[in-house]
A and B are shown apart, each in its own frame.
Chain A
Amino acid sequence: EDQVTQSPEALRLQEGESSSLNCSYTVSGLRGLFWYRQDPGKGPEFLFTLYSAGEEKEKERLKATLTKKESFLHITAPKPEDSATYLCAVQAPGSSYKLIFGSGTRLLVRP
Chain B
Amino acid sequence: GAVVSQHPSRVICKSGTSVKIECRSLDFQATTMFWYRQFPKQSLMLMATSNEGSKATYEQGVEKDKFLINHASLTLSTLTVTSAHPEDSSFYICSATGSNYEQYFGPGTRLTVT
Contacts and interface: CB of A to CB of B under 8 A. Distances in A.
Interface of A: 31-32, 34, 36, 41-46, 49, 87, 91, 96-99, 101-104
B21 to A, nearest CB: 12
9 contacts: A43-B106, A44-B93, A46-B104, A46-B105, A97-B32, A98-B46, A101-B44, A103-B42, A103-B43
Contacts of A96: 32, 49, 57
Give the size category of B's interface with A. Answer: 20 to 34
A5 to B, nearest CB: 11
A58 B108 CA distance: 27
B70 interface: no
A102 B6 CA distance: 24
Q: Which of B6, B42, B91, B95 has most chain A Cβ within 10 Å?
A: B95
